[in-house]
Structure 1
Amino acid sequence: MITQLPKRPNKSSSSTIAKISNNIRLLTNMFSMSIHDPENSDSEDNQVNDRNLMCYQYDVKFDPSIAEDNSNLRQKIFKQARLSIQKIIGRFSFSGKSLYSLKRLDQNALDSVSLESVRVDDQTYSLSLTFTKLFEVNEESAQNKDKTTPNYKKGNKVTQVLNVILKNIIDQEGFKQIGRNSQFFDLQSRADVVIKNQNNTSTLEVYKGITFKVSPTQQGLYLNSDYLCRILRKETAQQYLTARHDIEGQSVLTKYNNYRTYIIDRVDYSKNPRSTFLYRKTNLQISYAEYYFQNYQIEIRDMQQPLLVSKIKYREADTNILKIQEIFLIPELCYMTGLTDEQRKNKNAMKEIATHTKLTPEQKYSKSVQYCQLFGRKTIKSGIRISHTDNKIDAIQLKAPKITFGGKSFIPEHGGNFETRAPTQDQVQFKDWAIIHHKNDEKEVYKFIDLLKNASQAYQINVNDKPQFFAPEDFNPKNWIRLLDKDFRKNGVPQFIVTFSNAEKNPSLYREMKKFFSSEGGVGIESQHVTPRALQKNGKSVASKIALQIASKLGKRIWSVETPVGINQNTMIVGIETSMKKIRNQQVIGVVASINKDFNKFYSQVDFRNGNDIKLPTLSKIISSAIEAYSKNTKTVPEEIIIYRQGLGEGQIQYSHQLEIQAIQNGFINFKQGYSPRFAFFQVNRKISEKFYQQLYNERVQISNPPSGTIVASELTQNNFEFFMAAQNCNSGVCTPTKYTCLFNNTNLKEDQFWQLTYFQTFNYYNWQGPIRVPAVMKYAEKLAKFTSETLEGVANNELINSLYYI
């Protein structure tokens, strides 16, 4: 078991750090909180002194009992009963199952609350309270004494109580929680967006809202508040199933139980609303239709529809064992969330949606301050003070790395994007290549070849302008494959092949051709798909990107990025990412490792994980194979390995990552007995609500995104080794930083060397000239996992494991 997270490594000297960075001050949406003696406190215990606020927890029981997932009804009951209960116990907060108060009730008071009856939805409910716990609410208790334990936030009663208090405030303001991640939306703010396509018209609902949380840091308590939007479709899952059948992996929302969201794992066609199950409340069989009527007063209209199945993970209270529960949902009661691919292609609709979702940094920061002021006004009497002005933090801006092409080296200005037409680092020749296209596209194909040859000259890529041509007469992928297979068997495979076609001619053509080229049972050849429409605007620029993409797929180095001082030249960097889409109920894990000292040649492999598994079955084998590829390419072995792992949530640190760290160490032993390189393992979280802003003083004060290379590693972090990084150069919308939490580290690297290495590698992604959000190996791993799950639907040909065939 991981009992303690790694502590922060030492930093280099201040003079060394000054050479690689600049000190900056930033604004943030993290606002300082403090706990004091409450004004006009309701406590009778005389225990409430300055910074000594006592909280009493009471469990709440309802009679008749309420369904476990019907938190909406419990909130309704308390909304009606709040004033009556408050006369007896004073101000309180309600979490759905527990009540938190500053007042200790005697038995008579408890009994008087128990007599409270409330009528909601033609049903009378009685409430009863049972005292369960007393604890102190202060900043010290909110911060775990050992802030380096893996689950320091989990089970922290103080932060839970503070979050409950804030949730009660936002609920009283008329906001409704959607989903499980403390996201609250003003349903009155709804804006409808009508999308008109050739075949149909659909309507989206856009809601504006807030997400917030209380975060203990090494400097104290902070309130994190951020503006957000949610897009819902008016289309039900039943309507979606009628039109198509690929609902697995889609997210749906149910309005009847407090706008909860579910990921659909499968459709059960053997069940319908008349099917029965054992209802634990009565220990009797009941139909789904009866259940929904009894608990939500909903009558199901279509009794023949199949049921949707969503798997919910939870841990048993006593054993902490991970369990999987299947939830059965009625399609006509589920609403689809998010946007379809067809809707995303509608430019007019996306522009209208962007007016709600894409705020400027100034607008978004202003929203955070407004929410902070609201909470501050509402909590002051409870002894909780929130400052909307105490949110300036120290940060540093790392200097950008030197980028080297074949004949040119430079440092991007201000860490920004670059577009340099210079020779590639490796010499590249497109000699023996082929192109397949519909016979009617012959003129377009010749235009593309001319564009490719001209665009490639700036990079000194030598393009043979007389490739082998294949021109089938239809868009049937079987005919395309048959034509190529016959030639390959006779003449061998070329260096690479280009498929030239618009996707709408046959949507399956791209996928089937990629399987033929890249899958385990395919020919194992590099391929590039080109869409004629993409060449209509800025054709030469598009052709330039295609030339570089093909070169990188062939394993050629386009450019290299400077390695920070102090990094061992025999270092390997590994990225691990998980696909969103599943294959046969299995998640795809992409693993990409650098196999040269410049970190720009790669080994790529995938792992498959069952839906209820928490470990990567073949990770040990993949790690040992990556080390073998590194050894074969460099004639040595990695002495240090830095691993970046896509974040899976704080609750899974203990149970998932300890297995992965063990698997990685087993991979070292599998490679060679006694081989034990130093390594560091980072959880990388991109789905965070923390934001940073810089204040510019021009003609007027402006709020803008933080500069590329921003590192926040002091006030807002824990004592364990973690940091925030804003690597990307964000010129539109609001920059979301990335959070790096170290779960294992036995290297001798200093903290600033980790910052630099991580930042420098964001410049090493060949599909973009400039920094991206994460190190390049992570982006490649993301592309690999997505390509495998959505296109290949299986393992790639072994001939391609040392290439970037998936970008």
Structure 2
Amino acid sequence: MEDRPLPRGRGALIQELLRKREEERTIGGRPDPQEQPTEAPKPRGRAALLKKIQEKKQKLVGAADSSVSAIEPSTSGTQATTSIASPAPSTTSKEIQEVTETLSQVSFQERETVFYKGETGKPLRASSNYIRLNIQKDGGVFEYEVQFNPDLDAKNRRVKLVSTVVREQLGGIPRVFDGGSVLYLPKKITDASQMFTATIPGPDGDQTLSCTFIYKKKKSHADRECLHLYNCLFKRIMYILLYTQMGRNYYDTHHGSLIPQHKLEVFPGFAVTVDELEDGLMLCLDTQHRVLRTQTAYDLFNELRAVDPRRFKEMANSSIIGSCILTKYNNKTYTVHDIAWDMNPMDTFPTRDGGSISFVQYYKNQYDITIKDTEQPLLINRKNVSQSGSKEKVEKIVCLIPELSNMTGLTDEMRSDFKVMKDVAQYTRITPNQRINALRTYLENIKKSPEAQKVLSDWGLAIAQNPIDLHARQLDNEIIYFGNNQVQTNNNADWNRAVGENKVTGPVDIFNWIVFFTDRDAKNAQMFAQTMMKLAPVMGCRINQPRPIKLPNDRTETYMTYCQENIDKNTQIVVFICPTMRTDRYSVIKKICCTQIPVASQVINSRTLGNPSKVRSIIQKIALQMNCKLGGTLWTVRFPFKGWMICGIDVYHGSKSEKTSVCGFVASMNETVSRWFSLAKFQDKELGDYLKETFIKALDRWKMENGSFPSKVVVIRDGVGDGQLDHCKRYEIEQLEGVLRDLELPVQICFIVVQKRINTRIFTQGREGYENPPPGTIIDYDISRKYLRDFFLVPQNVRQGTVNPTHYIVLHDTINLKPDHTQRLCYKLCHLYYNWPGTIRVPAPCQYAHKLAALVGQHIKKTPSAVLNDRLFYL
């Protein structure tokens, strides 16, 4: 036998840990007499289920023990031998079938419902955009296994046979068949199995085949397959009600609102989702809007050609490739993956009958549309589709005509245009009353549609006619602590005025700083410096006169040169007053100040300082931001614990061409949770790969600042969808726990996931109907998840439209925080974002991690200098 190589890396570490553990358990090479064998814990969950199945097996195959001899060691001589007898012929396929049938009847226990409900706060009458779905008595989804005789390989023939059987012998009841062996029916047709025979056409004429439907079980409403089925039913209902699917949502393309001055059209619609929640099966119906440009891809081609004929193709590729278009002749959306410059509508493509036809003739025959320009290039859409009789997917290419393809969405220029966004917001930013009215109109349309009612009744569903009522609570308003005062917040949850009247909690004196400006902004630079010095006493610090440096021009190279010549190690912060806002210039400035010459930096657009009536309040906000970038703090709230480290994690993703993403990790460094340690790491996946490294650095920094490691750690993770929760639990949380095990720290962790992109809306009932709930509103029952420790929080106040709640999921908690404590902690953390004197939608550490990851991913493109880690340099 060859010698095995010695373990290396992780293997060597594991071997060493096992060796040490064995030494600790023994005394002088003998077992510790004090160590008593412990009773094995009773199996739970999946283990209990497996044990139950095993016991069933043993009872049924116990008789087979006589035919299968046991393993008997022979001790004759010095060598032991083992003989295994072959099974006797009495073990028949009938017995195996009995075991299989019995195992199929073993009931799979559902997961226990998780109740994560708090008690503190003022009760509120609330409602939501969820509608209850009732399951009719004896209704539901029944699963059957389908066996074919003889066996059929072709999927289309399997589907044809099952469809024929259901239509001719089961009265044409609804069914869902996957083409393999699983069939879903809305009612129970047999308790065991039933054979059916039917005749279907085959390659050599009609053929009589048989299939057997074997009853498996009644599916729970919370089953994944059931929820998918219910979502498919409502997809069918949306088509019945003449809604068009665009992306994941459905829109009414027949009742759009035109905005002619901007060549835009807005379609109303809904996001529709069915889910099993704590209070039963619910339909979530959220009002959505789709902005469609009346401009076609052909119009855009003409505009770009007129702007720069030489760079036309380059500009067209960057403007159209990757965008979503709508073809109104069939109301379908496509993503443009390429532009075929060597093709035009006169080209032909093969037809199903083996012939060929030109695009011009096809659109004339199929849609009675005459294509005007026969020289225009074609747009290419690619998608992978399943092939009949094969599991492999093949690429399908769709060629589209630019003059028949409407552009969707807003361009970057439109988003930066205040007038455009204001006009669009009149249609898209709707009030709670408008949302409820749209929801009730939808329910009324279902009630009036016999076809939609039949879809629901066929599967034993009945939809309520009103949204559900909720049990909500409002948390008490927080007290904001400044350097010399404390302020009680109101129901608006903002303290903008108090910030300008009170000293900050951690002021930083600014003695050595530089202001860069061009000749046109000389007056603005002087006024900015004088106002900063006047505001210093109000903040509670000293600010000296800055060193003014006038730039000869606003070229990017000039900024680079002057930065390298004038910034030294004694410079605390540099301010750039730029004549215009250019992304390339901003990126260069941030890259220099965050990597090459690490120093805090502030970039100001000249236009920001152009309004004399508002300039003082604007400069005051800039001064507060600069204080944070130098390591200062502005305000805090009271936290009733000591030694806790609060962490925030978020990940930034660039364009599809950028393979890497940036993980932002932020951790608090003091008892008042007002100073932060920030790290950014490049990675290849959404879920953090480098959490171990960043977590270790944060723990070391906490120990350096406080003299010992934290007693407890709360990690708040942003950007994890429902499909990633299990992976996050096994991958990210395990990294954090692994660090604590390696360092042998008795630190407990609470890991909370924050979800912002949700369709849940919450309304309270006021004098004028439905209105937005006040800040601090908590929903932890009714619409919370059935198997998760989760809750919804409305932390901020909005003056227009409908407020968006935030969904919190406690994914892992060894601290064993009470629901009230977790909810209160998350609400407190929403008060600590120093860029806004009010509450924000997510906890401050998540927002800081988001800002850090976005700055590094969009502009710096490198890991920032470690000198800046203890400052909020990315605000």
Does the pair score TM above 0.5? yes
Question: What displacement does 1:617 show?
Answer: 2.7
Contact 1:403-1:561 within 8 A present in 2 as well: yes
Q: Are 1:574 and 2:648 an aligned pair?
A: yes
Q: Are 1:539 and 2:635 an aligned pair?
A: no
Q: Give ranges in structure 1 of 5+ residues lacking alignment.
A: 38-48, 67-80, 116-127, 145-155, 197-202, 275-281
Length-normalised TM-score, structure 1: 0.76
Q: Which amino acid aligns with 1:213?
A: T
Question: What displacement does 1:361 show?
Answer: 1.2
Q: Are 1:185 and 2:254 an aligned pair?
A: no
Contact 1:503-1:509 within 8 A present in 2 as well: no
Q: Which amino acid aligns with 1:687?
A: R
Question: What displacement does 1:302 show?
Answer: 7.8
Q: Which amino acid aligns with 2:770?
A: I
Contact 2:577-2:603 within 8 A present in 1 as well: yes
CA distance in structure 2 between the partners assigned to 1:330 and 1:471 by the alignment:
55
Question: What displacement does 1:221 show?
Answer: 1.0
Matches within 5 A, 1:153-302: 156-179=224-247, 181=248, 183-194=249-260, 203-233=263-293, 234=295, 236=297, 239=301, 242-243=314-315, 251-253=323-325, 255=327, 259-260=332-333
Select the structure with the greater relative contact order (CA < 8 A; seq sep ≥ 6): 1
CA distance in structure 2 between the partners assigned to 1:86 and 1:355 by the alignment:
54
- The Cα offsets for residues 96-148 of structure 1, whole Å up to 9 and x where unpaired, read as 98997647999999768999xxxxxxxxxxxx99998878778xx1035xxxx
CA distance in structure 2 between the partners assigned to 1:230 and 1:402 by the alignment:
41
Length-normalised TM-score, structure 2: 0.70
Q: Which residue of 2 aligns with 1:77?
A: none
Q: Which amino acid aligns with 2:769?
A: Q
Q: Which residue of 1 aligns with 2:821?
A: 753
Distance 1:159 1:337, change over 3 A: same
- The Cα offsets for residues 537-588 of structure 1, whole Å up to 9 and x where unpaired, read as 311111111011111111101011221x4x4433333332334546732122
Partner of 2:740: helix, strand, or coil?
Answer: helix
- The Cα offsets for residues 645-698 of structure 1, whole Å up to 9 and x where unpaired, read as 2233222223344211222223335xx62124211222211111111100013x
Q: Which amino acid aligns with 1:748?
A: N
Q: Are 1:588 and 2:662 an aligned pair?
A: yes
Q: Which amino acid aligns with 1:801?
A: N
Matches within 5 A, 1:56-71: none
Matches within 5 A, 1:200-599: 203-233=263-293, 234=295, 236=297, 239=301, 242-243=314-315, 251-253=323-325, 255=327, 259-260=332-333, 337-375=408-446, 378-379=452-453, 381-382=457-458, 383-389=460-466, 391-414=468-491, 416-419=493-496, 420=498, 421=500, 422-464=502-544, 466-488=545-567, 492-504=569-581, 507-518=583-594, 520=595, 522-537=596-611, 538-563=614-639, 565=640, 567-579=641-653, 581=655, 584-599=658-673
Tell which deviates more after alignment, 531-540 or 752-761.
531-540
Question: What displacement does 1:394 show?
Answer: 0.4
Contact 1:577-1:645 within 8 A present in 2 as well: no
Partner of 2:253: helix, strand, or coil?
Answer: strand
Distance 1:525 1:583, change over 3 A: farther
CA distance in structure 2 between the partners assigned to 1:357 and 1:455 by the alignment:
40
Q: Which amino acid aligns with 2:267?
A: Y
Question: What displacement does 1:639 show?
Answer: 1.8
Question: What displacement does 1:208 show?
Answer: 1.1
Q: Which residue of 1 aligns with 2:51?
A: none
Tell which deviates more after alignment, 453-462 or 721-730.
453-462
CA distance in structure 1 between the partners assigned to 2:861 and 2:578 by the alignment:
22
Q: Are 1:647 and 2:713 an aligned pair?
A: no
CA distance in structure 2 between the partners assigned to 1:542 and 1:171 by the alignment:
51
Question: What displacement does 1:11 show?
Answer: 6.7
Query: Whose radius of gyration is greater, 1 or 2?
Result: 2
Q: Which residue of 2 aligns with 1:75?
A: none
Q: Are 1:22 and 2:99 an aligned pair?
A: no
Q: Which residue of 2 aligns with 1:124?
A: none
CA distance in structure 2 between the partners assigned to 1:544 and 1:568 by the alignment:
33
Partner of 1:606: helix, strand, or coil?
Answer: strand
* Partner of residue 841 from structure 2, selected from 773, 777, 786: 773
Partner of 1:471: helix, strand, or coil?
Answer: strand
Question: What displacement does 1:232 show?
Answer: 3.4
Question: What displacement does 1:9 show?
Answer: 8.2
The share of aligned pairs that are identical, in percent, is 21
Contact 1:684-1:739 within 8 A present in 2 as well: yes
Q: Which residue of 2 aligns with 1:76?
A: none
Contact 2:718-2:753 within 8 A present in 1 as well: yes
Question: What displacement does 1:790 show?
Answer: 1.6
Contact 1:499-1:530 within 8 A present in 2 as well: yes
User: CA-atom RMSD, angstroms?
Assistant: 4.6
Contact 1:708-1:726 within 8 A present in 2 as well: yes
Question: What displacement does 1:450 show?
Answer: 2.9
Question: What displacement does 1:604 show?
Answer: 1.5
Matches within 5 A, 1:631-670: 631-669=703-741
Q: Which amino acid aligns with 1:498?
A: V
CA distance in structure 1 between the partners assigned to 2:445 and 2:271 by the alignment:
14
Distance 1:261 1:606, change over 3 A: farther
Question: What displacement does 1:460 show?
Answer: 2.7
Contact 2:633-2:674 within 8 A present in 1 as well: yes
CA distance in structure 2 between the partners assigned to 1:674 and 1:649 by the alignment:
32
- The Cα offsets for residues 316-354 of structure 1, whole Å up to 9 and x where unpaired, read as x999xxx99999786966865432221012222222211
Partner of 1:425: helix, strand, or coil?
Answer: coil
Distance 1:711 1:338, change over 3 A: same
Partner of 2:589: helix, strand, or coil?
Answer: helix
Q: Are 1:35 and 2:103 an aligned pair?
A: no
Distance 1:782 1:167, change over 3 A: same
Contact 2:648-2:666 within 8 A present in 1 as well: yes
Q: Which residue of 2 aligns with 1:74?
A: none
Distance 1:696 1:313, change over 3 A: farther
Q: Which residue of 1 aligns with 2:160?
A: none
Question: What displacement does 1:397 show?
Answer: 1.0
Question: What displacement does 1:533 show?
Answer: 1.1
CA distance in structure 1 between the partners assigned to 2:469 and 2:530 by the alignment:
54
Contact 2:470-2:782 within 8 A present in 1 as well: yes
